[in-house]
Chains A and B, each alone.
Chain A
């Protein structure tokens, strides 16, 4: 008879102004865990406009709803864990004033196999973009404006519904 070991799992969400270290976060999620065979990570950056109609961005400020934001991220992580075999999940989202090129968001999903890790990472980002209460305000030379929500983001989250 095979013995079934209970796999320990780590997960954490953070909302912070400080920068994050992707390598250190991956090292932490895999430390001492020989059953992890796949780690998928996603890093979102503040992107400057590159099209002819884009106005150059000088900064972006992220506002959030303290308390609800963390709860919403925890809920999204719990949904991912219910759908896929995950051994660890890490979500970090920054707030405050950021410059083009700065990292905004990190999602890491660790699993035995890559399929679950890739899928969970994408699912968490799609849900984060439509369910977690963050709002971006762009600053340009011409002034500042709140970023409009995109229909494409709703569509991306919607494709995960069964």
Chain B
């Protein structure tokens, strides 16, 4: 299981702030997890088509090739706009 979190506009689009999910067969990185979630269809397909979507694993910003494994906290969110 991994804990996912969704923030800001993505959270609203998905209608979810996060969930506990089981990684699909062979899913071992951010790109794989995005594809797994996007395969649910709308509105989750946004995870595949949103090019500038950011991700963090265990609260560190990562790119699509970052490893994801059981027990991780994985967050997806739009580019940040603080300050």
**Shortest distance between the CB of B4 and any CB in chain A (Å):** 12
Cα A41 to Cα B79 with chains together (Å): 26
Cβ-Cβ contact count across A and B, 8 Å cutoff: 72
Contact status B78-A135, CB under 8 Å: yes
**Shortest distance between the CB of B73 and any CB in chain A (Å):** 9
Interface residues in A125-162 (C-beta closer than 8 Å to B): 125, 128-137, 146-149, 153
Q: A65-B56, A135-B7 are in contact. Are A148 and B81 (CB under 8 A)?
A: yes
Select B5's contact among A65, A104, A128, A136, beta carbons within 8 Å.
A65
Cα A134 to Cα B75 with chains together (Å): 13
**Shortest distance between the CB of B23 and any CB in chain A (Å):** 21
Residues of A with C-beta under 8 A to B78:
135, 146, 149
Contact status B7-A133, CB under 8 Å: yes
Contact status A62-B5, CB under 8 Å: no
Q: A65-B75, A71-B59 are in contact. Are A129 and B80 (CB under 8 A)?
A: yes
Instruction: Let me know if B25 is at the binding interface, CB within 8 A.
Output: no
Contact status A68-B8, CB under 8 Å: no
Instruction: Give chain A's interface residues, CB within 8 Å of chain B.
Output: 44, 62-65, 67-68, 71-72, 93, 104-105, 125, 128-137, 146-149, 153
Give me 17 A-to-B residue pairs in the complex whose CB atoms sit less than 8 angstroms apart, sorted by A's number: A62-B82, A63-B8, A65-B75, A68-B60, A68-B75, A93-B83, A128-B83, A129-B80, A129-B82, A132-B80, A133-B77, A135-B9, A135-B77, A136-B81, A136-B82, A146-B8, A149-B79
Instruction: Give chain B's interface residues, CB within 8 Å of chain A.
Output: 5, 7-9, 52, 56, 59-61, 75, 77-83
Given A132-B80, A146-B9: 7 more A-B contacts, CB < 8 Å? A65-B59, A105-B82, A134-B80, A135-B78, A135-B80, A148-B81, A153-B83
